[in-house]
């Protein structure tokens, strides 16, 4: 690094500090400490080391940067603004304000240049592992010796809090096993967390820990540009495994009275301290000051950024010409293009009932994997139970990324984060499996996936008390409603193999996250479910059996209780009752229908309303009314065969008839 560049980067670093202080102070809210402590790193990455083009933030050949310590987002907003992304100085002035382009934590899809939504600590590490893994998959699939299309790096900046959160351990252990030589995890080690010094709660030897994971481990002075360059340049040139860089920084560096303390962590420094800090740093008193030399540097750099992408595009065009079949597959994956006959193809897939929901889904997966090259699957050590393994394809393993199956190990939280990262390659549609009750381990990652609206499929099995003998520790009860409360998540509980097939079609069509709820036990085919998508599952809820006169009862059910509701209907009809039977596999799809359709199912006088679902009743009264009857499971289950549990908890035709006819 020559002296002129070093001098410019130092000026950029102090500019970042000034912008971070001013934005947080103007908002009177935020975290100035990390951006001030990591300003040299930000200047070095965006001013020199990262490969990117601010005029095309989705350029496929770019390096990726993830701020796992998302509270320090003013570092990212400042660097994105300076380097030419669609973040104006006015956006920085409206940090953390309503409808601002600079929210309190980085949000993918909201702010240009943000790769993933971060904030809950540690998850960015998991997302980064998934993104790095996805790029290794794509490199194996598409790179040639002459044309290394996918050779970029994934940089993740994490803090002390990220290191404390267990998800970073899960994800890093997986990355070390897979030997992801395109992942660079930088640890902002400033020895301060929100409540005070880390010595009060966190004294582990992180370097040794990461060596045990299988990382290459480095450390350097985070305020020394030459030291940072020496480490990052060496990694760029020689990396063979994931890299872990301990970056020793001073939180809030430049603030005379608050640097190195938790007072610089989670609140504005105060106008007097900002003024002192600017004087210390040699910055003018002017708010949101950007030196002309810094502007000129990045304006000039944009030419080289554009040239980088142009060179990559030339490489890509040559590759496309020489590899037309690969290019065709590339386009299918990039567009996640579905065959035009996908619905008829799935409906024609022979799956014989009775069959468990998980088994029916496995048959769909096997078929889809042969026609959808972008479909990749994995499981948290349960592929033999959740049936997510695509046996016609190999496993991914260290140095071998040509397979389609990922063994995540018993790492549900990291698996969910990695799934979001895989999706953010914009080339892969991941599905990940475990038991429904363990969705609790994944919940915050699912929530962020919903906030990002990334296309991920959560393949949850063993979805009720009727999994049987494993008992209440494994029997989900509150989970249906818990997942239904997350905005943007489509939670689908299919009632037989026909609905399973259309549930997959729903997930393929929806450009957001979908969760399947699938049974362990066999289910019969329910008459009337074999119908076009737009007349059945695609509506979210539909009338499975229409009454022949004004209904005495309306029964609505999901999943494994659909056939039970059908049998109850038959018994009521024997007693001369008129019954409407509704299947409701996906509340979210139903609520997206127009009012006229929703009213055609639940509007007006449709008799006594009865919901039948082996989960908590909460939520059902929206559809069945205060006077409706919820056949539900409002307590934990028990360890016993499924048939004994059905009798014990009232999920039999006789028990339900007794309640509804009382």
3-state DSSP of 247-300: EECCCCCCCCCCCCCHHHCCCCCCHHHHHHHHHHHCCCCCCCCCCHHHHHHHHH
- pLDDT over 90 (residue 483): yes
CA separation, residue 229 to residues 154, 211, 220, 499 (Å): 17, 22, 10, 56
Exactly one of 40, 107, 165, 412 is catalytic; name it. 412
The domains of the chain, with CATH numbers, are 3-305 (3.40.50.970), 342-523 (3.40.50.970), 541-660 (3.40.50.920)
In this prediction, residues 445-470 reach a mean pLDDT of 98
Report the candidate in 551, 552, 581, 578 with the shortest Cα–Cα distance to residue 566. 581
Residue range 233-277, pLDDT digits in tens: 999 999 999 999 999 999 999 999 999 999 999 999 999 999 999
In this prediction, residues 436-445 reach a mean pLDDT of 98
Q: State the DSSP string of 466-493.
A: GG-TT-TTT--SSHHHHHHTSTT-EEE-
Burial letters 18-36, b for 16+ CB under 10 A, else e: bbbbbbbbbbeebbbbbbb
Confidence class for position 164, pLDDT limits 50, 70, 90: very high
Q: Percent of the chain, pLDDT > 70? A: 100
- pLDDT over 90 (residue 595): yes
Q: What is the per-residue pLDDT for 40?
A: 98
Work out whether strand 216-221 and strand 243-248 pair parallel, antiparallel, or are unpaired. Answer: parallel
Q: What is the per-residue pLDDT for 1?
A: 85
Report the candidate in 611, 614, 615 with the shortest Cα–Cα distance to residue 629. 611
- pLDDT over 90 (residue 626): yes
Residue range 197-245, pLDDT digits in tens: 999 999 999 999 999 999 999 999 999 999 999 999 999 999 999 999 9
Q: What is the per-residue pLDDT for 146?
A: 95
What is the Cα–Cα distance from 291 to 259, expressed in whole angstroms? 24
Q: What is the per-residue pLDDT for 326?
A: 97
How many Cα atoms occupy the beta-carbon half-sphere of 653 within 13 Å?
Answer: 10
What is the Cα–Cα distance from 583 to 234, expressed in whole angstroms? 60
Average pLDDT of the residues of the chain: 98
Q: Percent of the chain, pLDDT > 90? A: 100
In this prediction, residues 30-46 reach a mean pLDDT of 98
In this prediction, residues 268-296 reach a mean pLDDT of 98
In DSSP terms, 490 is beta-bridged to 514
In this prediction, residues 596-609 reach a mean pLDDT of 98
Q: What is the per-residue pLDDT for 163?
A: 98
CA 113, 115, 121: angle at the middle one, nearest 5?
Answer: 120
Q: Is residue 272 among the annotated active site residues?
A: no
- pLDDT over 90 (residue 491): yes
Cα radius of gyration rounded to whole Å, the chain: 28
Q: Where are the beta strands (DSSP E) in 116-182?
A: 154-159
DSSP-derived 3-state class of residue 122: coil
Q: What is the per-residue pLDDT for 279?
A: 97
Q: What is the per-residue pLDDT for 143?
A: 98
- pLDDT over 90 (residue 184): yes
- pLDDT over 90 (residue 166): yes
Residue range 640-661, pLDDT digits in tens: 999 999 999 999 999 999 999 9
- pLDDT over 90 (residue 17): yes
């Amino acid at each position: 690094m020559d002296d002129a560049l070093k001098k410019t980067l130092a000026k950029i670093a102090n500019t970042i500090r000034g912008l971070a202080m001013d934005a947080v102070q103007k908002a009177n809210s935020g975290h100035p400490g990390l951006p001030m402590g990591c300003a040299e790193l930000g200047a070095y990455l965006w001013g020199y080391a990262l490969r990117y083009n601010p005029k095309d933030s989705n350029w496929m050949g770019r390096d990726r940067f993830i701020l796992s310590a998302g509270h320090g987002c003013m570092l990212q907003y400042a660097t994105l603004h300076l380097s030419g992304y669609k973040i104006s100085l006015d956006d920085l002035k409206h940090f953390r304000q309503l409808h601002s382009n600079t929210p309190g934590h980085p949000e993918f899809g909201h702010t240009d240049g943000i790769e993933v939504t971060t904030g809950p600590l540690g998850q960015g590490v998991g997302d980064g592992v998934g993104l790095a893994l996805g790029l290794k998959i794509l490199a194996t699939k598409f790179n040639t010796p002459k044309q290394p299309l996918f050779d970029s790096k994934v940089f993740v900046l994490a803090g002390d809090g990220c290191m404390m959160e267990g998800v970073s351990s899960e994800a890093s252990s997986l990355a070390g096993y897979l030997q992801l030589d395109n992942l660079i995890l930088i640890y902002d080690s400033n020895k301060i967390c929100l409540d005070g010094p880390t010595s009060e709660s966190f004294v582990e030897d992180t370097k040794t820990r990461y060596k045990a994971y299988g990382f290459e481990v480095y450390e350097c002075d985070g305020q020394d540009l030459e030291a940072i360059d020496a480490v990052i340049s060496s990694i760029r040139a020689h990396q063979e495994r994931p890299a872990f860089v301990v970056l020793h920084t001073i939180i809030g560096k430049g603030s005379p009275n608050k640097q190195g303390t938790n007072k610089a962590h989670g609140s504005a420094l105060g106008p007097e301290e900002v003024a002192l800090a600017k004087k210390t740093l040699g910055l003018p008193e002017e708010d949101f000051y950007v030196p002309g030399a810094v502007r000129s540097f990045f304006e000039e750099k944009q030419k080289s950024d554009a040239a980088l992408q142009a060179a990559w595009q030339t490489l890509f065009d040559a590759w496309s010409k020489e590899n037309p079949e690969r290019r065709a597959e590339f386009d299918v994956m990039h567009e996640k293009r579905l065959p035009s006959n996908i619905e008829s193809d799935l409906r024609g897939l022979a799956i014989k009932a009775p069959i468990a929901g998980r088994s029916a889904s496995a048959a769909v997966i096997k078929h889809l994997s042969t026609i959808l090259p972008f479909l990749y699957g994995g499981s948290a050590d349960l592929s033999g139970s959740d049936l997510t393994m695509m046996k016609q394809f190999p496993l991914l393993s260290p140095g071998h990324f040509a397979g389609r199956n990922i063994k995540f190990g018993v790492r549900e939280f990291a698996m969910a984060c990695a799934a979001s990262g895989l999706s953010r390659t914009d080339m892969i549609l991941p599905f990940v499996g475990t038991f429904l009750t363990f969705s609790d381990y994944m919940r915050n990652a699912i929530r962020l996936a919903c906030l990002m609206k990334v296309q991920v499929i959560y393949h949850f099995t063993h979805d009720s008390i009727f999994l049987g003998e494993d008992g209440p520790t494994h029997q989900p009860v509150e989970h249906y409603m818990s997942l239904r409360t997350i905005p943007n998540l489509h939670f689908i509980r299919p009632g037989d193999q026909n609905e399973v097939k259309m549930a997959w079609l729903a997930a393929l069509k929806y450009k957001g996250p979908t969760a399947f709820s699938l049974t362990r036990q066999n289910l019969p085919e329910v008459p009337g479910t074999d119908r076009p998508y737009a007349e059945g599952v695609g509506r979210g809820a539909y009338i499975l059996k229409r009454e022949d006169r004004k209904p005495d009862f309306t029964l609505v059910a999901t999943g494994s209780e659909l056939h039970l509701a059908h049998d109850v209907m038959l018994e009521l009809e024997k007693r001369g009752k008129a019954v409407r039977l509704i299947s409701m596999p996906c509340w979210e799809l139903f609520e997206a229908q127009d009012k006229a359709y929703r009213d055609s199912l639940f509007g007006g006088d449709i008799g006594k309303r009865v919901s039948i679902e082996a989960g908590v009743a909460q939520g059902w009264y929206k559809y069945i009314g205060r006077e409706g009857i919820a056949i539900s499971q409002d307590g934990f289950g028990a360890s016993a065969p499924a048939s004994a549990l059905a009798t014990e908890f009232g999920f039999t035709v006789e028990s339900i008839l007794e309640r509804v006819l009382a």
